């Protein structure tokens, strides 16, 4: 529950804000522990739309997290204390109920003696990326919170931009697939049965291709519910296994990495992500082992993630990152990446090398995506056109036979 309160702080300044607590008594205890002399406490009434807002998805979008990180970095660089900066962000986002409560909980946690990173981990309003809170925890200990927040903001904006470009690129192929499924379903369930009735009235022997299409149409018409249920069930089971079975998930990811074009796209995207966040962390003075562990969290492929996790163990044992990645494992990563890392280690410029690699892999992946889409779009058109062409041919063959007869 959330409570409004009015009162004075330790310095005698008037306060008017909110605090989260399980009851009135708990709210009073929390205010006393914060050194606030309250004059009024009342439970905050939530509007209908405000209540609905609390049931929305809890993950904070990367774009919004990037903006909040940037704004917080600006306030901290201007010399504003952390709790004051968070209060300012709270008031700026008062129209968003969940976000307002998010900042309020952070302020209260920090007043209770927790660090900023601990406050982020303990709050229950949003699910934040593990690498984000882990990075802030280390940077806070080193006194470079503002710098790292600014770097994280740039990273999140870049990731959001790449994600948006990929989503926009996939709009047209997705549209083609949806329209084609609708067209084929319409032909099988509406067009073919009507033409079939005409053929049956003539009593003419039908070509084999026509019989196959008619049989398919009957099968879909009679079993569409079971087919749809089967597809939904398979998708649900697959999603469940991916979420709960690590071995199954890793096996699927290993299969994806073996696919032509797509496999290299996934590897390049993960290497770009690893290089970007690793460069950021190293520039912030975070040790290589911690950098690898935090960067691994951002990777999408469990196979590549496991490779870097194994490498981090070898680095702890005294090996360099390049040698650790060269050792035999379940997956062989790009040799050019390993060689570049080795050069960076030899010259003590690993952070700069990773930064250059990040830009290189991002540009490379753009080219790979463009190539993939240039192959995908005509391939889809050929496949769909071929399926519809076969169906139309199957319906025309008996008509040609009638005319010839």
Question: How confident is the model over 39-80, as pLDDT tens digits?
Answer: 667 665 444 444 444 444 477 888 888 999 999 999 998 889
CA dihedral (367, 370, 373, 374) positive or negative? negative
Domain ranges of the chain: 2-45, 57-158, 170-285+329-405
User: For residues 27 and 311, which has the higher predicted lDDT (pLDDT)?
Assistant: 311
In Å, what is the CA distance from 70 to each residue of 96, 145, 228?
Answer: 18, 11, 46
Residue 1 has pLDDT above 60, yes or no: no
| 32-41, 62-71, 114-123: range with lowest mean pLDDT | 32-41
Which range of 36-45, 121-130, 316-325, 393-402 scores highest in mean pLDDT? It is 316-325
- What the block records as the tokens of 77 is 């660089």
- What the block records as the tokens of 185 is 């379903």
Q: How many CB atoms lie within 10 A of CB 379?
A: 11
The domain over range 57-158 is classified in CATH as 2.60.40.10: no
Cβ 377 vs Cβ 173: under 8 Å: yes
pLDDT digit string, tens, across residues 219-263: 887 888 898 899 999 999 999 998 888 889 999 999 999 988 888
Cβ 321 vs Cβ 292: under 8 Å: yes
Q: What confidence score (pLDDT) does residue 340 get? A: 92
Given pLDDT bands bounded at 50, 70 and 90, which one contains residue 3?
low
What are the φ and ψ backbone dihedral angles of 39, each rounded to 5 degrees?
A: -115, -20
Cβ 149 vs Cβ 89: under 8 Å: no
């Amino acid at each position: 529950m959330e409570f409004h309160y009015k009162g004075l702080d330790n310095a005698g300044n008037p306060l008017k804000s909110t605090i989260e607590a399980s009851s009135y008594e708990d709210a009073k205890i929390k205010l006393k522990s914060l050194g606030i002399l309250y004059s009024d406490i009342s439970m905050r009434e939530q509007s209908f739309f405000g209540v609905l807002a609390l049931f929305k998805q809890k993950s904070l979008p990367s774009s919004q997290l990037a903006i909040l990180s940037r704004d917080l970095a600006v306030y901290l660089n201007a010399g504003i204390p952390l709790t004051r900066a968070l209060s300012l962000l709270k008031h700026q986002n008062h129209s968003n109920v969940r976000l307002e409560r998010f900042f309020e909980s952070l302020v209260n946690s920090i007043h209770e003696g927790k660090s900023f990173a601990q406050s982020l981990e303990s709050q229950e309003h949003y699910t934040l990326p593990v690498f984000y809170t882990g990075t802030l925890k280390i940077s806070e200990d080193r006194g470079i919170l503002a710098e790292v927040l600014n770097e994280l903001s740039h990273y999140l904006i870049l990731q959001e931009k790449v994600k948006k470009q990929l989503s926009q690129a996939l709009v047209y192929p997705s549209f083609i697939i949806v329209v084609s499924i609708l067209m084929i379903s319409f032909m099988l369930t509406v067009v073919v049965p009507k033409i079939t009735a005409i053929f049956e009235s003539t009593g003419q022997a039908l070509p084999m291709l026509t019989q196959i299409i008619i049989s398919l149409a009957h099968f879909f018409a009679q079993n569409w519910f079971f087919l749809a249920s089967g597809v939904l069930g398979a998708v649900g089971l697959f999603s469940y296994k991916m979420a709960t079975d690590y071995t199954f998930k890793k096996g699927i990811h290993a299969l994806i990495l073996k696919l032509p074009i797509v496999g290299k796209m996934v590897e390049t995207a993960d290497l770009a992500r690893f290089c970007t966040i690793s460069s950021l962390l190293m520039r912030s003075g975070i040790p290589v082992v911690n950098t690898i562990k935090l960067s691994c969290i951002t990777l999408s492929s469990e196979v590549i993630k496991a490779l870097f996790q194994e490498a981090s163990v070898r680095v702890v044992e005294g090996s360099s990152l390049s040698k650790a990645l060269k050792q035999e494992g379940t997956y062989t990563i790009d040799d050019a990446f390993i060689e570049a890392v080795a050069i960076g280690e030899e010259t003590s410029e690993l952070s700069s090398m990773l930064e250059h690699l990040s830009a290189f892999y991002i540009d490379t992946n753009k080219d790979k995506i463009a190539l993939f889409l240039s192959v995908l779009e005509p391939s889809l058109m050929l496949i769909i056109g071929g399926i519809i062409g076969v169906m139309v041919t199957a319906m025309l063959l008996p008509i040609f036979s009638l005319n010839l007869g």
